[in-house]
Amino acid sequence: MGDLYALDFDGVLCDSCGESSLSALKAAKVRWPSLFNGVDSSLEDWIVDQMHVVAEGLTVEGILENWSKIKPIIMAEWNEDRDFLIDLFGKVRDEWMDNDLATWIGANRFYPGVPDALKFASSKLYIVTTKQSRFADALLKGIAGITIPAERIYGLGTGPKVKVLKQLQEMPEHQGLKLHFVEDRLATLKNVIKESELDGWNLYLGDWGYNTQKEREEAAGISRIRVLELSDFSNKLK
């Protein structure tokens, strides 16, 4: 019996916070150009820094716990459309990649040990991410030097992760494999637990990803979830 690992990308394999912040700034300049009149490079650097800190009395935990409520309020206040903004963000990234691929790749980093773990993995690997597939593929090739077949990268637009996991477990070639799902968002893992069809998956919360101490403590108290350290993750793939 072998192993199949379904891996989230951002927060599990790749720390994309720097690149995402810069792409967001570039997209904002396209979407709201008048707001950036007179804004020089040093102020732009400050804006990017502010994306990484807490503002307006909100804690990191408060934002994470209430994001599903906060997001629609902000979108309504600014009269914005989700699909339009996703498309704009992707186009800005594409333009950055086309014009200066090396700088775009350099704004991302893989977590220590992850590239080697992916290269030498004996398990069957799938990427299950909300990132657009072409960006995940470019980073895997550009930083880790790894090519994962396109049919093994489930990116934005392939449906909810619970749907993807169901598809993976139903494939004839995966019958008899031990199934593992590694994610850095506790909410996603809790959604998996709600689906009785997915009871066969071993679930892991990566403690190096985009989650809080409170979430890690909560995960530790859920029998289905194992809180995983980065060194253990790399060893498991190898």
Burial class (CB in 10 A: 0-12, 13-18, 19+), 128: buried
Domain positions in the chain are 3-15+109-237, 17-106
Phi, psi for residue 203 in degrees, rounded to 5: -110, 140
What is the structure's pLDDT at 55? Answer: 52
| pTM (two decimals) | 0.83
If you ran DSSP here, which 8-state letter would residue 154 be given?
Answer: E
What is the structure's pLDDT at 64? Answer: 73
Nearest to 226 by CA among 168, 191, 181: 181
Strands (E), the chain: 3-7, 14-15, 109-110, 124-128, 153-154, 178-183, 201-206, 225-228
If you ran DSSP here, which 8-state letter would residue 111 be given?
Answer: P
Q: What is the mean pLDDT of each run of 10 residues along the chain (238 residues)?
A: 94 92 94 93 88 64 80 92 93 93 92 93 94 92 92 93 97 96 96 97 95 92 97 86
Both tokens assigned to 75: 């979108």
C-beta neighbour count of 111 within 10 angstroms: 18
What is the structure's pLDDT at 76? Answer: 94
What is the structure's pLDDT at 57? Answer: 61
Burial class (CB in 10 A: 0-12, 13-18, 19+), 157: exposed
Nearest to 153 by CA among 173, 132, 170: 132
What is the structure's pLDDT at 176? Answer: 95
- Please give the Cα distance from 58 to 67 (Å, whole number): 11
Angle between helices 186-194 and 213-220 (to 10 degrees): 30
Burial class (CB in 10 A: 0-12, 13-18, 19+), 48: middle
What is the structure's pLDDT at 140? Answer: 95
- Please give the Cα distance from 39 to 80 (Å, whole number): 23
Both tokens assigned to 146: 């790894």
Dihedral (CA of 209, 214, 215, 219) sign: positive
- Please give the Cα distance from 128 to 189 (Å, whole number): 13
C-beta neighbour count of 55 within 10 angstroms: 8
The CATH number given to 3-15+109-237 is 3.40.50.1000
